[in-house]
Amino acid sequence: MSDKKQVSRRQFLNYTLTGVGGFMAAGMLAPMVRFAIDPVLKPSQEGELAPVTEMDKLSNEPQRFDWKIEQVDGWYESQVQKSAWVYLDENDEVVALSPICTHLGCTVNWASNEEYPNEFYCPCHGGRYEKSGNNVPNTPPTAPLPLYVHEVKDGMLYLGDAKSREKV
């Protein structure tokens, strides 16, 4: 008779069921663990104010500024490009507009169409916005350009998230 240990049918079934059961339990627990530690997995800098430009570079004419923010999604880290059209209004208050057209998401430019020199113009479908970012009625966009949350600190302009505004 050999010394080899034989696995009985009962033991084999026990091992198999334990393995499959453990695998299924891990599958059910993983989303719960992820939910519990979710704050750790959220983007690290999204929504935080980022330094964009020195205040003395601003004028009454809209200028485009680009910057990058760090985004952490789980274990994946990436840099996201952000842009804004920024100017000082008649009261020297900062106006920082998102360049994303509220029609279908193309990028709008300031005074880029000779026919509308004092407006933001979207080349995709002829969308137009006043300097304030309000959409011109009877053009494709149905809402104003979103406005960035901003803060001025030590002569520096910081921008946060762009917030949608009421339809005109």
User: What is the rounded CA–CA span in Å between residue 136 and residue 86?
Assistant: 19
- Helix or strand (DSSP H, E) at 58: none
Q: Least Å distance between CB 65 and ligand FES?
A: 21
Which of these segments, 13-21, 80-88, 96-104, 143-151, binds ligand FES (CB under 6 A)? 96-104
Residue number with CB closer to ligand FES (13 or 124): 124
Q: How many residues of this chain bind ligand FES (CB under 6 A)?
A: 11
Interacting positions 125-144 with ligand FES (CB under 6 A) = 125, 127, 140-141
Candidate list 104, 149, 152, 156; residue touching ligand FES; CB under 6 A: 104
Q: Is position 122 an interface residue for ligand FES (rule: CB under 6 A)?
A: yes
Q: Least Å distance between CB 129 and ligand FES?
A: 9
Candidate list 52, 86, 96, 101; residue touching ligand FES; CB under 6 A: 101
Give DSSP secondary structure letters for 77-130.
EEEEEEEEEEEE-TTS-EEEE--B-TTT--B-EET-STTSTTSEEETTTTEEE-
The CB-side HSE value for 129 (13 A sphere, CA atoms) comes to 30
Six-digit token string for 71: 């985004």
